[in-house]
Amino acid sequence: MPDTEMILIKETYLNSDPGSGNMIILKEEPNAKRYFMMFVGDAEFAAIAKEKGLVDPQRPLTHDLYLRILEKLSVNFIRVEVHDVKENTFFANVVFTAEGKEHVVDSRPSDAVALALSRKIPILVNEKLFHRELSQEEMQEFEGLVKSVKF
């Protein structure tokens, strides 16, 4: 039995900044104080931004290619889970069924989130990976961050 709870994510925020890089912030609800944050590469950031309708790349991204292939196949995506962290690297699973069997595949969280947004399946994050409630000062900084997001 896991001794931590998996939290259902309702909000995905993006922020890109030349100094700090590409950031994805996940929250259980807009007003929630705790949050999950990860840094991602350019291609993964683009994939998530595209799924949120923030950019419209002219050519299919890697995700798009495979999602178009998967559309032709019998597969049901169930959920993605960001479940652990080791040496500052987050770990996620993609859960799906095919031919009556459930499969769990290891994934980077950025790919899992892009896939989940595309297929409209739940994103769950282990509560132990959330940042604690922010102080007043941190909150101001975080609010600035959220306001700087382009949507």
> Which residues in this chain contact a second copy in the complex, by CB under 8 A?
41-44, 47, 58-63, 65-66, 68-70, 72-75, 89, 94, 96, 98-99, 101, 103, 105-108, 111-112, 115
Cβ proximity to a second copy: between 31 and 74 the closer is 74
Cβ proximity to a second copy: between 98 and 139 the closer is 98
Q: How far is the CB of 74 from a second copy (least distance, A)?
A: 7
Q: How far is the CB of 92 from a second copy (least distance, A)?
A: 9
Cβ proximity to a second copy: between 59 and 132 the closer is 59
Cβ proximity to a second copy: between 42 and 138 the closer is 42
Q: How far is the CB of 135 from a second copy (least distance, A)?
A: 32
Q: What is the DSSP string of the chain?
A: --SSPEEEP-EEEEEEETTTEEEEEEESSTT-S-BEEEEE-HHHHHHHHHHTTS---SS--HHHHHHHHHHTS--EEEEEEEEEEETTEEEEEEEEEETTEEEEEEE-HHHHHHHHHHHT--EEEEGGGSBPPPPHHHHHHHHHHHHTS--
